Structure 1
Amino acid sequence: MTARVTELGLPDDIQACLFDLDGVITRTAVVHAAAWKQTFDEYLRQRDGTEFRPFDKGADYDSYVDGRPRADGVRTFLASRDIHLPEGDPGDPPDAETVHGLGNRKNELLLELIRTQGVEAYDGTLRYLDRVRAAGLRTAVVSSSANCRDVLRSIDAEHLFDVRIDGVVAAERGLPGKPRPDTFLAAAQDLDVQPKAAAVYEDALAGMDAGRSGHFGYVVGLDRVGQADALRAHGADVVVEDLTDLGRWA
């Protein structure tokens, strides 16, 4: 197995690969950013009127919401504007002025964008996954999205993963989301491997932080938006623009 693992651009003691979904497997990060922007801009415009300052799909998305569970993204971004809303309840309607209400509004918009625009996979990642499994490595998808399973089914990729730790599973198990490493650690445990024997694949800065703090054996940063330096600063061992650039397999 060692030679085949090395061809994949991994240390030869890696036994499992843990993949984020949005921005790593699928091109849904841009759809998420659009849904967040519409959600926050509508709320901020109503709240601030002429003083309205829009949500930035680049800087604000990368710094405050990318890779985080939905409610954490709401809290973190609003805190950056010195806004603190009541938590509310996970079942709050999407027009409720609560953390969960805004989060549910974002998810409503996201699902509509997915229905109208569809979901596109990164072909390089799917081909890399095929090689990873052919090399005998175990695989997991680790995502904060509660829609992870449906998205994987829409691109016919559910079968590529031995374990799925997503927003639904995290809520069931009480796992805090990224930048905490708990969801990745749960995936490694479910795969019966130690963190040092697992590689993490992420495109979000919060995911880099999770990989570093979880002491995983290798952390691969996917630079989809020109933030290679930031990914390295947050813990990436290597940064590539596509998984076809990793190793000598393509």
Structure 2
Amino acid sequence: MDGTMVDSMPAHAKSWDLFRQRHGVQLSVDEILKRTTGRNGIECVRLLLGDDLPEEEAKRLIDEKEADYRRIFAEDFREVAGFSEFARRAQARGLKIAVATAGDRNNLHFVLERVHVRPEAEVRGDQGLPGKPEPDIFLAAAKKLGAEPRDCIVFEDAPFGIEAAHRAGMRAVAICSTHKAEELAGPHVIASVRDFEELMKNDFLESLHA
């Protein structure tokens, strides 16, 4: 979802900067993003503040951080170019869409209300699954869709997500909104593009059905 469906990583960076200042985290924002992107909220907080942090406290802290993120992103919300139209065309062709995100319920609903896309399945990081690069979130999404992993294509903008797709036995498309193509490479990556407009210009959906 983040950085793939919506151009939210700048807002996440700002909210992590607030978190860093508030809680005395010495890492830079860039380093925090590098270590946390794709992980679920509790994993993120424990990574920054210690593995022994109680779960309830970790949940309270990530809720605080994500509330900052939604407030910031609401002021300048934007999708990754072409996402909504690409999703509409995919569903019109009979393809099923799942959102498989390490984000929580509030962040997911915040995004879906604004992009006007209704996926057939949702899997989130606050449902007890380990975050990426573990494959669990993607495998759970495939199961909800009734699809075999080999028949799924993951759209991802982050190295942990690309790795998780590989571990899940799925093909992947690298959306290079936040990372370079070489950072998102792999034997399972079938396309690397800037955004969904580029995919549509290249007749990506049509080629799948050729």
Q: Which bin holds the TM-score, normalised by the shorter protein?
A: 0.7 to 0.9
In structure 2, the partner of 1:104 is 63
Write the distance in 2 (CA, Å) between the matches of 1:140 and 1:227: 25
Which contiguous aligned blocks of 4+ residues in structure 1 show a shift greater than 3 angstroms? 99-102, 233-237
Write the distance in 2 (CA, Å) between the matches of 1:118 and 1:36: 17
Matched, 1:238 2:204: no
Residue 40 of structure 1, aligned match among 14, 17, 20: 20
Residue 137 of structure 1, aligned match among 73, 87, 95: 95
In structure 2, the partner of 1:229 is 182
Describe the SS at the equivalent of 1:122: coil
Give the CA deviation at 1:111. 2.8
| Residue type at the aligned position of 1:203 | D
Cα RMSD of the aligned pairs, angstroms, is: 2.3
| Residue type at the aligned position of 1:228 | A
Checking the alignment, whether the CA contact within 8 Å between 1:27 and 1:122 is kept in structure 2 is yes
Checking the alignment, whether the CA contact within 8 Å between 1:140 and 1:187 is kept in structure 2 is yes
Give the CA deviation at 1:182. 0.8
Describe the SS at the equivalent of 1:26: coil
Greater relative contact order structure (CA < 8 Å, 6+ sep): 1
Show structure 2 runs of 5+ residues with no match.
Answer: 206-210
Write the distance in 2 (CA, Å) between the matches of 1:238 and 1:44: 40
Give the CA deviation at 1:220. 0.7
Mean Cα deviation higher: 194-203 or 228-237: 228-237
Matches within 5 A, 1:30-179: 30-44=10-24, 53-57=26-30, 59-61=31-33, 63-76=34-47, 78=48, 84=50, 86-90=52-56, 92=57, 99-115=58-74, 117-146=75-104, 147-157=107-117, 159=118, 161-168=119-126, 171=127, 174-179=128-133
| Residue type at the aligned position of 1:248 | D
Cα gap change, 1:112 to 1:179, in 2 (>3 Å): same
Describe the SS at the equivalent of 1:138: coil
Give the CA deviation at 1:164. 1.1
The count of corresponding residues between Structure 1 and Structure 2 is 201
Residue 164 of structure 2, aligned match among 210, 213, 217: 210
- Structure whose alpha-carbon radius of gyration is higher: 1
Checking the alignment, whether the CA contact within 8 Å between 2:125 and 2:137 is kept in structure 1 is no
Show structure 1 runs of 5+ residues with no match.
Answer: 1-20, 46-52, 93-98
Write the distance in 2 (CA, Å) between the matches of 1:200 and 1:85: 30
Write the distance in 1 (CA, Å) between the matches of 2:204 and 2:71: 37
- TM-score by length of structure 2 reads 0.84
| Identity across the alignment (%) | 25
Matched, 1:193 2:147: yes
Write the distance in 2 (CA, Å) between the matches of 1:124 and 1:209: 24
Write the distance in 2 (CA, Å) between the matches of 1:226 and 1:143: 18
- TM-score by length of structure 1 reads 0.72
Write the distance in 2 (CA, Å) between the matches of 1:107 and 1:228: 28
Write the distance in 2 (CA, Å) between the matches of 1:65 and 1:223: 18
